[in-house]
Structure formats: structure tokens, C-alpha cells
Structure 1
Amino acid sequence: MIATINPATGETLARFDVHSPTEIDARLERAARAQAAWRWQPADERAVLLPRLAALLRAEKDALAVLITSEMGKPIAEATAEVEKCALNCDFYAEHAPAMLADAPVAAVPGATLAFEPLGVILAIMPWNYPLWQVVRFLAPALAAGNGAILKHAANVPQSALALERLVTEAGFPDGLFANLFVEPAEIAGIIADQRIAGVTLTGSTEVGAIVAGQAGTALKKQVLELGGSDPFVVLADADLDRAAQVAVTARFTNAGQSCVNAKRFIVEASVADAFTERFLAGIAELRLGDPRDPATTLGPLARGNLRAAIDDQVQRSIASGAELRTGGIIPDGAGFYYPATLVDHVTPGMAAFDEETFGPAAAIVRAADADEAIALANRTSFGLGASIWTVDTDRGRTLARRIDAGAVFVNAMVASDPRVPFGGIKRSGYGRELGEAGMKEFTNMKTIRVADAA
């Protein structure tokens, strides 16, 4: 049984039975049959369906936003923006997929061409924190490339999974090409091993990623893994502190801090650390914790009770290790899984807020003697997803960006995914890329075709 619970109230909204082995087999078979025909459709004919999907997302934007908010607690304004971002992603690949997938001549070898062909049906194991975006950012390029997809969504957002399945069908994609599965975690290894599955993409925790990677590796299936992060937000002494602090609030507390690419560790040169922290605290004080359905709310509940317990435990362990609590840190009374915006200062390596991924509305201030120490602290993590650097000297920022171990480094901006550029991590943040042309081609076979002169 799969249940969806409203994080703002603790109320159970709906329950769904898991699919039986017979139902799983039928959905895999339909996807495989649909993809076997779909792959031969010209790329421009495949892509033409994506604007239809975008139009449906926009037509149902308000209802979909309410669904997201009710299932995982995202403030309604953020949920509405998530739906629009999904539509923009579809628009992007509708326009650019045919050119990205076009045969590419090999300049150094006359008669040699690279062709980009679909792999087959891809299993997508997706998280709850962006119930539509996480799926659509994979799905739009995967379908455009000629693949099919089976979705195993997070158990607490089943209605979002069903909504996407319906919208893809209504957009005109072949029946069964994209299908949702309600299954228990124990079933996943068997699905990965099934010969009808050609590859696996997963967004989730590092621990789950390691398990799935092992299962896919045993089956010799292609994988793309986007896992955890402990993104540094590096503020140098010459930064525009007002702007950096303003963006820092958004970078840390969007989606109640429940994102792999939320800024986690705010590493600030000591000479400006007090000034930045005061500005940061002022911005935090303006956040409004409350009912995520209220348009004025800027900080909603966490998605589950165990997530709130985990972030509180991390904050308390950091304080016990010597960090200074500047604001928040107390679980409020009442229903729902709310936690206040929290800031701990004077965080150092060895403390929970530095060493572990912080998945909730808590920020850590780390003080560095100079820029070199700031970069060293930024890299002192097992993760490598995103990072940002703040300095008025953009040339210096670009140079320092190359010294940070991450899949993406933003200078004077917060880290964000964008359909136009690749997104992914290194180290324990995973491997492979989503989005951009690189993401489009992850689940294609780069086939070399070489034709010699018949004479």
C-alpha cells in the first residue's frame, strides 16, 4: 500500500495498491512494444508532441501546483513555478532535439558518421522534492530521443506520478510509452534486471544511488545518477554583501531547503563574515513559515516527519559540537511537519552541519581566513554537485571556479538547473548528466557508421 500524506496537516490524502507482478509485466511489455515503433519515428515528428505536453501543463498549472503542495508541502508560488519550468523544458527540447540528434560527420575520417540512436525503455527512479520537474527534465529529452520510460516515483507523491502519466498520454505519445509503476523498493532490482529495461536514471540519496548502481552494474545497464550535495556558497571579502545575502536566503530556503542543489555551507572570508551574517539573518527574518497553500507563505513544512526529525538532530548535534545557534532550531507546536528557518554560525569541519548533507531549512556559516582557505573548505566534502562564488572580480571568480570540485559552479548567482546546459555531479554526488545536449545523449547509442569507397 502506498499512501500520500499532507505535510501541512499530517492528514492521509489517498492510498494506492502496489502493482502486482502481472501488472508490472504488462506495463513493461507495453512500453517495450511502444518504444520499438517509436524509435523509428523521425526526430522532428517525435519532438512535435512536446509542445502539446507543455500546453497541457500550462492549462492545468494551478491544479497541478495545488497537487504538488498537498503531497509534499512546497509553497504554492514555488509549486506553480515548478510546473512552468516543466513546460519550458518541453519547449526547449521540442525546438532543439532534432538538431541535437542529427548525424554528425567525423571531420578527420572521410565517410565516417556518428548516429545517435535510442537505447530503449529507461527506468526512472525519482524523488519527491520536485514531483513534476525531476521527472520531466529526464522525460522530455528521453522521449524526444526515441526512448520509452517507466517511472518509479517516490512513495509519498503517487498522485503526481499519475497526473504525469495521464498528461503524457493526452499529449498524444503512444499508449504505454511512458508508464508509472507503484512498487515496493524490493521489486526494483528485478525490474532493472528485466531485459526490457535498457538503462536507469536515479535522482535521490547517495545511499540509494549506491544500491541502484550496484543492481544496474550487475545487469550491465547504463546509469545516470544525480545524488546528494553539500553545495558551498563562497563569499569573498570583495563581494557585494547585500546581493550575496539576499540570494543566499533563496539559495538555502527554497523548497524548505529540500534540494540537492540548495546552498548548504556558507563559507565566508572572516573579514566580512559578521557583516554577511547580519544581512543573512535579516533576510531569514523576513521568511514566513506557514500554510503552503497561502500565497504569502515562503517557507512550508518538510515533506515527512522523519525529515524534520533528521534536520533537528543535525542542528542539535552541531550545537553540541560548538556551533552557535543564531536563529530557529526549535520545533514548533501544532500539526504538520514544520521547522523554522535556522542558522548556525562558527561551523567547522567535523560538525554535522559541515560534514553531512543538510536537507532542510538550516544554514551553516563557515568562516575562512582568506580565499585560498575558502576554496579548500569548499572542497572538503565527499560531495560535488554545485557551488557558487561571490566576488566583484568576475575574472577572479572564473579562475577560482576551476579550483572547486563540482559539476557546476556559478559566479555571483545561485546554482540552478537549466534545460540549456548539462547538470550533474562528481564524487558522491553521482555521475552522468541531465539536460542540455549532453543530457539528451546520455541514453542514446553513439553509433559509428563508416562507409568505404565501393571501388
Structure 2
Amino acid sequence: MTTTTTSNNIETTDPATGDTLSLYPLFTDDQVEETIQKSHEAFKKWKFKSVEERGKVISAIGEEFQNYKTELAELMTAEMGKLLKQSKQEVDLCSAICSFSAQNAPDALKSEEREISDGGRGIITYSPLGVIYGIQPWNYPAYQVIRYTIANLMAGNSVLLKHAQNVTGTAKLLKMIFDTAGVPEGLFSVLVITHDQSDSIIQHDLVRGVTLTGSPDAGKKIGEKAGGELKKMVLELGSNDAYMIFDDADIDLAVEKCIQGRIYNNGETCIAAKRFIATEAVYDEFREKFVKGMKALKSGDPTDSETDLGPMARKDLREKLHEQVQKSVQNGAEILCGGEMPEGDGYYYPATVLAQVSDGQPAYDDELFGPVASLMKAKDNEDAMRIANDSRFGLGGGIFSKDVDKAVEMASKYFDTGMVFINSFGLAEPNMPFGGVKNSGYGREHGGFGMKEFVNAKSIMIGED
């Protein structure tokens, strides 16, 4: 494991070497209670700040991200193994989210007036709820936090964070960045806690909402606990996104973007390209070029600018991925490249392509959270869409076609996902909604939508004068 929890501490480990990074003391129950109380007290003051006043603080956070860019990027790479150049891109995305939120919150959260039936008028206001508790994963140690935190601070809420244990150092550094930017004391708090303590926070009367990014199993467990307390949730639960290569696709472009989409962030991305469905007309060409490109990737030190693929974040994650590959092969899949557990230090796994992928294999049914691609053949464009939708997930996906208008029609009418990329691969845009359907969860973040997930849309009705 990359992270070890003792009776009193969390130990973090560098996945590139297996060496210990740091020890962090766990909170006592009294410290947890004190943190929640301070968060609530901070909320009671913050909620009366104007959106413009909040925006100034949020803008300052974005600026501080740039001031801490080198330190934060190096720490994220050390804790979870992502390429250093991609860690720097993540910091820039965090700054962009702060900027977008500060600029657009006044419009997104402004009161609305409507006529009502008796000749009077109605006013709709968006009031903050209170303390919002976020449970976040390790794969984007800064961005995952910023995605829900900034929206909720803009809305007037206060925020608690339980980060993944193996990126505890990043969580602590984020707190420092927020403090340096002038975020009021108690408004953003990091909790270094156990799962049992986390459950007690969900049940706490002062906690008004819960947001989780994680696996479907985690979503079911946390959703059950929050639902039992009648608390609003937002869930982003991963996926096995399908990228379709239609009959008229630009194959070279498709290969380039599909490789990027599979191995970005070492393949450990909820919205990564994972299943690749090419029609019969282009399958052989796509397969040949795709496998060649995956074989050519350079694996190694994530701090080296020439490296394409770093280590996986934890030993257990690598073991699970390899087990999924082996089970897929046992059930008929064919390894075109990779698929062997490497020797040596660190938690590296090779870029892998599986063919002959079909129902009943982990490569078809489940999320492969690492640099393993599932390659499938479809009869035609419509059959490709059928296969793409044959999934319990629905976060994102892609279409490659020179007929962009037709691709847009297919995406809007038939693709059962929350996000679709056409002739491209992407992760997140601050001005576009982020979220999924089916077992990929519910609720939306970004694009102004996240600011309204944890607010009270309040109706005020005034009779005719």
C-alpha cells in the first residue's frame, strides 16, 4: 500500500520508489468536533458576504495557486506519481476555476423575479445551506478539491475536506494556500481522519451536504449514509468511457487523441478514454497504429520531461489492474502489448492493449483505472454506439468523425453519458458542466451548475398591491 494508517498516524509513500514521504497525526474526535463547530461559525459570517466580496477572496486563491505552483506540483507528483508537467497543468486548471467562478458567480447566483398567478410577483433567491463535507480521491490531488470547494465557497457555504490518505501532504498544502489567500479562519478545513470518523461527520447536525468523488461502491455506501440523514449529495463515481472511431474518422488524429486519453495522468482518470470501439471499415488500420503508438510510450521517472507514463499511485491499485487484465485474458481477451507486471522499484505498469474484448470480461464491464486499453470492433457507426452504451457507467465518451454535425447529433440524441468529446480528448472545462449518469453518479460541477447544487432555491411570493 502507498498509505499506511497506524493507530495514530498516516504514512505516505512515493509510488515511483516505494520510499516513505511523511507521517501525519490523525485527528482526535474532539479535534473533529471543534473543526466542525469552527466551520459552522465561519459560515454564519461568510453567508452574509456579497457574491462580489466572496469573489475577491476566490480570485486571491487562484493567484496563490500560481505562487505555489512549483511546490504544489512537485508534491502531487511525489505523492501519487503523476507526470510533473501534468501536475503543473493541474495547478493552472485550479487557477482557471477560481477565475471563472469569481467572474460568473454574480450572474449564476443573482435573484430572479417572476410573475405569479394572482397578479403579484415572485422572487427566487439562492441561499447557502451551511457546512458542506467533501470526500475526495487521490488522482487529481488539487483539482478534485477545487472542483467542489470553490463552487461552494462562492455560494456562501463553508467546506470540510477529507482527502485520500496518500495525498495528505497535498491537502495540508492546499490549506496553506487558502490561508495565504485570506480565506477566513474555519471556512475551509482539512480533516485527517479515519473512515469511522468520516461516518460521524456525515451524521453531524451541522453538516448540510455531502459530495464524493470515488468508486460506485463508495458512492453506494456514502449515499446510503447521507440518504439516511436526508442530506443532499453530489456523486462522481468513475466510468469506463467509450471512444468511437466511425467509418469516416481521421485515423491518425483518432490514434493520437485516444493514446493521450488513455495514458493521461498515468491512466488514472475517471473520465479517461478506456474502451475503444472502431468500425469494421477502419478497425485494422486503427488497431495497427494504436498498438504501435502505445508500444512506443516511454515509462519512467515522472519528474523527467521525456517520460510519457509514470507509476501507478499505489501498490494495491496496480495489483487490482493486473488481476483485471488476467481475468479478461482468461475469459477470451488477447494481449496486443504490455500486460506483464514489471520488476523493480515503484508501482509501474506498462501501456497495455487488449483485443477480443467482450461482455463478461473486466475489460468490457468494469473500470480499468490504469494504462490499459480495451479495443473492440463494431459493424458500423450505429453498432459502435450500441456497444458504447452497453455499460452501467455514463460519465464521458468520444466520437471521431469528419462529419461533425452528424457526430453532434449522435452525441446529443443517443450517447448516454454526461460529457462527449468530438475529435478530441478532454478532461474538464471550468465553463462546462462536469458529471455523469447511471453508475457514474449524479449532480453537476463546473459551468455555474456546481454553485447551485448546495443552495436553497427559495421562493418569496408577494401579493398584488
Contact 2:68 2:177 in 1 (8 A): no
Q: What one-letter code is carried by the residue in structure 1 that aligns with 2:53?
A: E
Which of these residues, 229, 241, 247, is aligned with residue 237 of structure 1? 247
1:261 is aligned to: 271
- The residue matched to 1:447 in structure 2 has which SS? strand
Q: What is the distance in 1 between the residues matched to 2:285 and 2:41?
A: 61
1:393 is aligned to: 403
1:361 is aligned to: 371
Q: What is the distance in 2 between the residues matched to 1:420 and 1:155?
A: 30
Equivalent pairs: percent with the same residue?
40
2:190 is aligned to: 180
Q: What is the distance in 2 between the residues matched to 1:37 and 1:397?
A: 49
Unaligned ranges ≥5, structure 1: none
1:26-425 equivalences under 5 Å are 26-106=34-114, 110-401=120-411, 402-425=413-436
- The residue matched to 2:274 in structure 1 has which SS? strand
Q: What is the distance in 2 between the residues matched to 1:172 and 1:447?
A: 30
Q: What is the distance in 2 between the residues matched to 1:353 and 1:95?
A: 42
Query: Which 4+ residue blocks in structure 1 deviate beyond 3 angstroms?
Result: 107-110
1:438 aligns with 2:449: yes
Q: What is the distance in 2 between the residues matched to 1:412 and 1:107?
A: 44
Q: What is the distance in 2 between the residues matched to 1:395 and 1:70?
A: 43
> What do residues 357-385 of structure 1 show as CA deviations (whole Å, max 9, x unaligned)?
11011001011111121111111111111
Q: What one-letter code is carried by the residue in structure 2 that aligns with 1:452?
A: G
- The residue matched to 2:424 in structure 1 has which SS? coil
> What do residues 80-103 of structure 1 show as CA deviations (whole Å, max 9, x unaligned)?
100110011101111111111110
Contact 1:319 1:325 in 2 (8 A): yes
Residue 107 of structure 1: how far off its partner (Å): 5.2
Contact 1:409 1:415 in 2 (8 A): no
**321-330 or 194-203: which moved more?**
321-330
Contact 1:200 1:223 in 2 (8 A): yes
Contact 2:259 2:293 in 1 (8 A): yes
Q: What is the distance in 2 between the residues matched to 1:429 and 1:297?
A: 31
> What do residues 46-88 of structure 1 show as CA deviations (whole Å, max 9, x unaligned)?
1111121111110111111100000000010001100110011
Residue 108 of structure 1: how far off its partner (Å): 6.0
- The residue matched to 1:423 in structure 2 has which SS? coil
- TM-score, normalised with respect to structure 1: 0.98
Aligned Cα root-mean-square deviation (Å): 1.1
Contact 1:384 1:429 in 2 (8 A): yes
- The residue matched to 2:107 in structure 1 has which SS? helix
Q: What is the distance in 1 between the residues matched to 2:426 and 2:381?
A: 20
Q: What is the distance in 2 between the residues matched to 1:360 and 1:203?
A: 17
- The residue matched to 2:313 in structure 1 has which SS? coil
1:5 is aligned to: 13
**380-389 or 318-327: which moved more?**
318-327
Q: What one-letter code is carried by the residue in structure 2 that aligns with 1:148?
A: S
Residue 104 of structure 1: how far off its partner (Å): 1.4
Q: What one-letter code is carried by the residue in structure 2 that aligns with 1:37?
A: K
Q: What one-letter code is carried by the residue in structure 2 that aligns with 1:235?
A: I
Contact 1:388 1:415 in 2 (8 A): no
**103-112 or 57-66: which moved more?**
103-112
Residue 453 of structure 1: how far off its partner (Å): 2.7
- The residue matched to 2:152 in structure 1 has which SS? helix
Unaligned ranges ≥5, structure 2: 1-8
- The residue matched to 1:263 in structure 2 has which SS? coil
Q: What one-letter code is carried by the residue in structure 2 that aligns with 1:448?
A: S
Contact 1:386 1:415 in 2 (8 A): no
- The residue matched to 2:42 in structure 1 has which SS? helix
**235-244 or 276-285: which moved more?**
276-285
Q: What one-letter code is carried by the residue in structure 1 that aligns with 2:98?
A: C
- The residue matched to 1:239 in structure 2 has which SS? coil
- The residue matched to 2:96 in structure 1 has which SS? helix
2:5 is aligned to: none
Contact 1:258 1:359 in 2 (8 A): yes
- The residue matched to 1:405 in structure 2 has which SS? coil
Contact 1:245 1:279 in 2 (8 A): yes
Change (3 A) 1:108 1:368: farther
1:448 is aligned to: 459
Q: What is the distance in 2 between the residues matched to 1:270 and 1:303?
A: 36
Q: What is the distance in 2 between the residues matched to 1:135 and 1:283?
A: 33
Tell me the matched-pair count. 454
Residue 106 of structure 1: how far off its partner (Å): 2.2
- The residue matched to 2:421 in structure 1 has which SS? strand
- The residue matched to 1:396 in structure 2 has which SS? helix
Contact 2:101 2:448 in 1 (8 A): no
